[in-house]
């Protein structure tokens, strides 16, 4: 009987001790839940402020806020062209820089006629290295650059293992994705600082979030742009300059023409025009954003993922995209051969 009493006494003491720990753990759990709930509410508010509230008000004249002229590199197709058109619709004069003169002439003329702003172009191939930047600098020497959009970039034709990338493509990825943005910022930033206003938009990629297999060099180059942009924002925000890192997921452009599923999932992969409309609305509000509401949801989930899960998802998606791209390329090649 004494042994039974001793057991119940011991159990009672242990239970009391556990209750103290349970209460402490309950408080910690409640604090953690409240913190995460507040964080989620803040994320929801940020999305509303970035992507939905601006749609309720008329477009602002960005030329008064940042400056009269905007430079868009790689501005003849896709995001670059859409960005140029969106900025022109907000009263900004446009300077397009790309390597295809015919496309530059056509897009420049269309912007002039459609939006009644000034538009000019500079022919430059950013893959040619250092020699191209002096002529660009001379052409821009007397121009008040208010906005710089570093859009020009080189992407894989489809996800690929690193050793299978042609050496020329690898050089282009590094030379265009990293060097072009750095040199263009170095060129126009002093003028912005002297005027105490200006905006720089570097178009990175959501693949900068974590290491991304089968687009290793591309994602690494975009990670550079993301870190570069964020560091510049810390350096130059006190001087009146707004530096933005855009980190979109898939957008339905020529770069993704082999990814068939994007054509039927435009809510996941918006058109360049839709993306530019949303992204420009975030200018001056968020220094780091995907630029599009659904991409922001994806990016939030990606940040919460452990790296192993991100890598597994990326491997699965990129392997599937690679297979589909190769299949479509094979079908196109077969069709051409049959025609001949």
Q: What is the mean pLDDT of residues 136-150?
A: 93
pLDDT of 235-260, one tens digit each? 999 999 999 999 998 888 766 655 55
Asked which of 87-101, 136-150, 268-282, 316-330 is least confident by mean pLDDT, the reply is 316-330
Whether 12 is covered by a domain: the verdict is: no
- Residue 339 burial (C-beta neighbours within 10 Å; 0-12, 13-18, 19+): exposed
Both tokens of 215, joined, read 């687009």
Cα separation, 311 vs 36, in Å, equals 25
State the pLDDT at residue 13: 63
State the pLDDT at residue 302: 85
Whether 68 is covered by a domain: the verdict is: yes
Contacts of 217 (CB under 8 A, 6+ apart): 162, 165, 170, 173, 174
State the pLDDT at residue 70: 96
- Among candidate residues 133, 218, 259, 292, the one labeled active-site is 218
State the pLDDT at residue 300: 83
Whether 242 is covered by a domain: the verdict is: yes
Q: For residue 231, what are the CA distances in angstroms to 9, 151, 235, 281, 282?
A: 62, 19, 6, 22, 19
Whether 245 is covered by a domain: the verdict is: yes
Q: Using pLDDT thresholds of 50, 70 and 90, give the confidence band for residue 94.
A: very high
Asked which of 45-59, 80-94, 151-165, 172-186 is least confident by mean pLDDT, the reply is 45-59
State the pLDDT at residue 51: 60
Q: In sequence order, which ranges of 125-215 are alpha helices (DSSP H)?
A: 133-140, 167-174, 181-195
Cα separation, 212 vs 24, in Å, equals 40
Whether 271 is covered by a domain: the verdict is: yes
**Three-state DSSP string of 60-93:** CCHHHHCCCEEEEECCCCHHHHHHHHHHHCCCCE
pTM score of the predicted model: 0.81
Whether 195 is covered by a domain: the verdict is: yes
Cα separation, 17 vs 13, in Å, equals 6
Q: What is the mean pLDDT of residues 292-296?
A: 87
State the pLDDT at residue 304: 82
Confidence check: pLDDT of 195 > 90: yes
In the chain, the number of structural domains is 1
Any idea what the CATH number is for the domain that residue 285 is in?
3.40.50.720
Whether 44 is covered by a domain: the verdict is: no
State the pLDDT at residue 41: 67
Average pLDDT over the chain, rounded to an integer: 84
Range of the domain at 171: 55-321
The maximal CA–CA distance of the chain, rounded, in angstroms, is 100
pLDDT of 115-142, one tens digit each? 999 999 999 999 988 889 999 999 998 8
Asked which of 30-34, 110-114, 203-207, 228-232 is least confident by mean pLDDT, the reply is 30-34
State the pLDDT at residue 1: 47
**Three-state DSSP string of 121-138:** EEECCHHHCHHHHHHHHH
State the pLDDT at residue 234: 96
Whether 270 is covered by a domain: the verdict is: yes
Asked which of 49-53, 58-62, 266-270 is least confident by mean pLDDT, the reply is 49-53
Q: Using pLDDT thresholds of 50, 70 and 90, give the confidence band for residue 301.
A: confident
259 is catalytic: no
What is the sign of the dihedral through the CA atoms of 289, 217, 178 and 91? negative
Q: For residue 73, what are the CA distances in angstroms to 7, 12, 67?
A: 79, 74, 17
Confidence check: pLDDT of 305 > 80: yes
């Amino acid at each position: 009987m004494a042994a039974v009493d001793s057991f119940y006494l011991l159990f009672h003491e242990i239970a009391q001790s556990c209750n103290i720990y349970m209460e402490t753990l309950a408080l910690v759990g409640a604090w953690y839940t409240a913190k995460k709930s507040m964080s989620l509410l803040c994320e929801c508010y940020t999305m509303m402020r970035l992507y939905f509230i601006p749609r309720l008000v008329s477009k602002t004249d960005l030329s008064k806020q940042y400056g009269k002229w905007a430079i868009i590199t790689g501005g003849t197709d896709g995001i670059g062209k859409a960005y140029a058109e969106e900025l022109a619709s907000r009263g900004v004069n446009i300077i397009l820089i790309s390597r295809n003169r015919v496309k530059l002439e056509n897009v420049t003329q269309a912007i002039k006629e459609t939006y009644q702003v000034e538009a000019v172009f500079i022919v430059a191939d950013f893959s040619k290295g250092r020699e191209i930047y002096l002529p660009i600098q001379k052409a821009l020497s007397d121009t008040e650059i208010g906005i710089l959009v570093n859009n020009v970039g080189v992407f894989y034709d489809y996800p690929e293992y690193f050793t299978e990338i042609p050496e020329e493509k690898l050089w282009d990825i590094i030379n265009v994705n990293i060097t072009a943005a750095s040199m263009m910022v170095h060129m126009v930033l002093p003028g912005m600082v002297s005027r105490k206003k200006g905006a720089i938009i570097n178009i990175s990629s959501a693949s900068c979030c974590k290491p991304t297999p089968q687009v290793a060099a591309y994602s690494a180059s975009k990670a550079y742009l993301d870190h570069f942009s964020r560091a510049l924002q810390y350096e130059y925000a006190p001087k009146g300059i707004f530096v933005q890192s855009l980190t979109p997921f898939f957008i339905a452009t020529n770069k993704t023409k082999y990814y068939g599923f994007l054509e039927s999932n435009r809510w996941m992969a918006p058109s360049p025009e839709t993306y530019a409309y949303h992204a420009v609305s975030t200018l001056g509000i968020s220094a780091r954003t995907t630029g599009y509401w659904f991409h922001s949801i994806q990016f939030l989930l990606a940040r919460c993922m452990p790296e192993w899960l991100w890598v597994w998802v990326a491997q699965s998606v990129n392997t599937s995209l690679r297979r589909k791209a190769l299949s479509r390329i094979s079908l196109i090649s077969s069709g051409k051969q049959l025609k001949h």
